[in-house]
Structure 1
Amino acid sequence: MTSLTRLVLNPRHPAAKADLADVDSLHKTLMRLVPDHIGPTPRARAGLLFRAEPGPEPVLLVQTTDTPDLTALPTHYGTARTLDLTPLLSTLTPGRTMRYRITAAPTVARSAGNPTPHPVTGKRRGKITHLTGNEAIAWWQRRAAAAGLEPVTVSSLSRPFPRARITRSAPYFTLTQFDGLARITDTTHLIHALKTGIGRAKSYGAGLLSLAPA
């Protein structure tokens, strides 16, 4: 089972106001929705992905592997409605055209001189570079193809990354929202991408792919 929750935050609630201003705080609040003590990578194990939706009111889409525990949220934090995505996933067949939306963190590792080898893997990686504009769109087209989608149309929109403190260990991400139509090419890869997310910054409101019938 995979669940999707539409959470409308109460903008006057102190905790909601703090979460809207700092994605780290928001991530900690949303982790209350999933079970404790589920391993060293709890977000991934719980399948927690989320995205802030554009619009006049603060709306979050929150995806989890199991039904979220909405009672764990602060009282009067917001109103929520949870749906089981299983019926939608069962309709995904090759050749079908779907509407999609994803807010992602497009990046690429670009070499500069002689990059330092990774201390464990020994692989040499360049500096992580954030992509915008046409480079970001090209990034999405590549990632969509790997996820079993062939984009037919693509529009992009820069999205905010609200973070109270930026450090080397907690870096800033450039987020881009992609919308459009796409044809399904591989159902197995697509369902995997839907459940696990795409790209970096999944703990910070990126990577959640949403589909709806065209």
Structure 2
Amino acid sequence: MNVWLTRVIPDPRNRAAAFDLGGAGSAVNLHRRLMSLFPDGIGSDARAKLGVLFRAEDTPTGTHLLLQSTYQPDVGRLPDGYGTAVSRPLDPLLDALRPGLAVRYRCVASPVRKPGATTRAAYGLPAVVALSGAAADEWWARQSEACGLRTLTLTSQQLDGIRGQRGKNGAAAQQRISHNRTRFDGTALITDAELLRTKLVEGIGRAKAYGCGLLSIAPARTPG
């Protein structure tokens, strides 16, 4: 399986780019834009079939979009003047993963817990409870262990939530999207390289269509 990482640097002066990046619905806009870079006719759950994950990152030079996929995107489908885009294969990095290797990681995720029916009834809780602070950090510790990582250091930051309508027309336009977001950064040791490869492609947690779940890693100079 080939895995591609594409960095898109939108030009905020471009009308289409400014629309995609602006407002509370930017995650939905970016989902539509980035999915437009892939072939039509994939069928249901095209995002998962194409392994599409993305993350918007604020940098000193503006917003950058990181797009990961198992199919090379056609960046020529971006509107004229949208910005710059470069794709490169991730396979050399994935092939180099091994147990005991120290890595730096970053992941923007939507940490939640799903209390059982008895607990929900006793405390009046919803079916899905958003987590933040220490509870979100504990969630990440469990997730990273399940990814084949042993966390060494962790810094977390709660980000603005994702809000918007799922679609533009019909029933989808009436469906509200609402996800909390936390960014997790730190260092870890690889405990299971094959499991980590699988999770890097699959993504972590919920809201993968809307900019959550992309786990990025790079070799670390030291374990700490």
Write out per-residue CA displacement over residues 21-71 of structure 1, whole angstroms, 9 at most, x where no aligned residue.
221111111001112111211000011100011223011100010211001
More strand by share: 2
Normalising by structure 2, report the TM-score. Answer: 0.86
Q: Match for residue 105 of structure 2?
A: 100
Find 1:34's aligned residue among 33, 38, 42.
Answer: 38
Q: Runs of 5+ in structure 2 lacking a partner?
A: 167-172
1:212 is displaced (CA, Å) by 0.4
How many angstroms apart in 2 are the aligned matches of 1:168 and 1:150?
A: 41
8 Å contact 1:23–1:161 — kept in the other structure?
A: no
Q: Match for residue 6 of structure 2?
A: 5
- Superposition RMSD on alpha carbons, in Å? 2.0
1:161 is displaced (CA, Å) by 3.3
1:158 is displaced (CA, Å) by 1.6
Taking the TM superposition and a 5 Å limit, the aligned residue runs for 1:6-21 are 6-21=7-22
1:150 is displaced (CA, Å) by 0.6
Give 1:205's aligned amino acid: G
How many angstroms apart in 2 are the aligned matches of 1:94 and 1:102?
A: 20
Q: Match for residue 65 of structure 1?
A: 70
Q: Secondary structure at the match of 1:143?
A: helix
8 Å contact 1:92–1:187 — kept in the other structure?
A: yes
Q: Match for residue 160 of structure 2?
A: 160
* Runs of at least 4 residues off by over 6 Å: none
Q: Match for residue 51 of structure 2?
A: 47
Find 1:23's aligned residue among 8, 20, 27.
Answer: 27
1:168 is displaced (CA, Å) by 7.7
Taking the TM superposition and a 5 Å limit, the aligned residue runs for 1:56-205 are 56=60, 57-111=62-116, 113=118, 127-165=127-165, 169-205=175-211
Q: Runs of 5+ in structure 1 lacking a partner?
A: 117-125
Give the % identical residues: 43
Normalising by structure 1, report the TM-score. Answer: 0.90
| Compared CA separation, residues 155 and 168, structure 1 to 2 (3 A) | farther
Give 2:90's aligned amino acid: L
How many angstroms apart in 2 are the aligned matches of 1:163 and 1:129?
A: 16
Q: Which moved more, 1:100-109 or 1:169-178?
A: 169-178
How many angstroms apart in 2 are the aligned matches of 1:207 and 1:162?
A: 13
- Equivalenced residue count is 206
How many angstroms apart in 1 are the aligned matches of 2:50 and 2:38?
A: 6
Give 2:81's aligned amino acid: H
1:81 is displaced (CA, Å) by 1.4
1:111 is displaced (CA, Å) by 3.3
1:163 is displaced (CA, Å) by 3.4
How many angstroms apart in 1 are the aligned matches of 2:58 and 2:142?
A: 25
Q: Secondary structure at the match of 1:89?
A: helix
How many angstroms apart in 1 are the aligned matches of 2:176 and 2:51?
A: 21
Q: Secondary structure at the match of 1:103?
A: strand
